[in-house]
Amino acid sequence: MNPGTTIHPFFVFYKKKMRLDKKIICQQVKKVREHTCGKGRTQKKFAEKILKIPYTTYREYETNIVDLEFIQRLHDELGFRLPWLLWGEDPPKDE
């Protein structure tokens, strides 16, 4: 974790209570891209233009890596609900 970064209390509570499934979380990250930009938007454009991170880093989040700081960022900056990001619980955003 980066110095000065705090983890949302939601993660502290649920990390102890429930297991996280890497496959589900990576699928949800892909759905964030599709929900935000449409299915035609490439990983590279989404990563670099919207998230302002290197494409190679984002590709790993969508396929292989679970980074709770990144998940929290999707929640904080794009408004996706944490239960949806972590477990696929509907709805993706609060209405």
**Looking at residue 81, what is its pLDDT?**
94
Can you tell me the distance from the alpha carbon of 14 to that of 68, in angstroms, rounded to the nearest whole number? 12
pTM of the shown model: 0.79
Residues of the chain falling short of pLDDT 70: 1-18
**Looking at residue 54, what is its pLDDT?**
96
- Joined together, the tokens standing for residue 75 give 């929640």
- Joined together, the tokens standing for residue 9 give 């209390």
Domain ranges of the chain: 21-83
Backbone torsion region of residue 67, taken as left when φ is above 0, otherwise alpha when ψ lies between -120 and 50, otherwise beta: beta
